[in-house]
Structure 1
Amino acid sequence: MIKKNKAKVSYGMLIFIFLVFFGPVSFEVLNDGIQSEFYVLLGVLIPSFVFILYMFLKTEYYIEENLLKIKCGLLFNKSIEIHKIKKISKTNSPISSPARIEITYGEYDEIILSPKDKLTLAKDLTTIHPAIENNITED
């Protein structure tokens, strides 16, 4: 049986990234008008932003048999054996979005996830491997 959990999308982060990409271009257009370089720049910025948007929207977590599978677009696929997970806890790392949790597994490995429903993901993992230290509680 496959259990699927989508990532929580931080729209604030997406707006920030959009402003970082297109804010300076907007100011340049307002000051100097549209130059020929503007189209080249847009030809780079638009596909780059669409790719980042795709990665945000296509991040998913699957529990398939005894594996936690993490898929982030086309670039990142990772499988973690659930029986190697030691701990699930909240994290305040600034590099991840609001629903972030940290999973400690293996000898010294950690990964930060941002599931939409962190309680269900933690419950599903601890159902499969009850020895996992689960520090995820309702807020």
Structure 2
Amino acid sequence: MKTYKSKFGYRMVGFVTLILGLIISTLVFNNEPFGAFLFVGGISIVVYAVVLYLNFSTVYIIDKGILTVKCGIFYLKRFDISKIKSINKTGNIIASPAPSMDRIALTYGEYDVIILSPKNKMDFARELTRINPAIKNKLLD
């Protein structure tokens, strides 16, 4: 069994920080009551905690020909590695179990795709192609 951690999503954390900062700045600029600060601050802490939790809890586990993708308590899915057709670089920003924007796309089944962001993409791809040599590894292109 091999476990690959997801790459940390600095852009996502930066984006959330920017948005929350803008919201709080707007409250300050508009002289909103203290209760509004407490409410928005509480929501901001929860949102920030969830984003950090997803960054630290996303893992990809390869074991006995199965790829298990786990993203906190929100996402758990298993993929048969023998059905993976290709591994590609991607910049797709679609919601996926990939906190980082440094992403790869795995094509499997007929037309299905899952987007991941393993910290060490090359080792991850090598391990998948070791198990299934038919996978087209396009990371080197």
Would you call these one fold, judging by a TM-score over 0.5? yes
Query: Which structure 1 residue ranges, 5 or more long, are not aligned?
Result: none
Offset at 1:45? Answer: 1.9
Please report the TM-score for the alignment, with normalisation by the length of structure 2.
0.88
Question: Within the alignment, does 1:111 sit opposite 2:110 as a pair?
Answer: no
Choose 38-47 or 22-31, whichever is displaced more: 22-31
Letter in 2 for 1:44: I
Partner of 2:6: 7
Offset at 1:12? Answer: 2.6
Partner of 2:24: 25
Letter in 1 for 2:59: E
Alignment of 1:1-139 (within 5 A): 2-32=1-31, 34-95=33-94, 97-137=100-140
Q: Would you say the 8 A contact 1:99–1:118 is kept in 2?
A: no
Question: What SS does structure 1 have at the residue aligned with 2:102?
Answer: coil
Please report the TM-score for the alignment, with normalisation by the length of structure 1.
0.89
Runs of 4+ in 1 over 4 A off after TM superposition: none
Q: Would you say the 8 A contact 2:93–2:101 is kept in 1?
A: no
Provide the C-alpha distance between the structure 2 equivalents of 1:30 and 1:68, rounded to a whole number of angstroms: 49
Percent of residue pairs bearing the same amino acid type = 40
Offset at 1:34? Answer: 5.0
Question: RMSD of the TM alignment (CA)?
Answer: 1.7
Q: Would you say the 8 A contact 1:103–1:112 is kept in 2?
A: yes
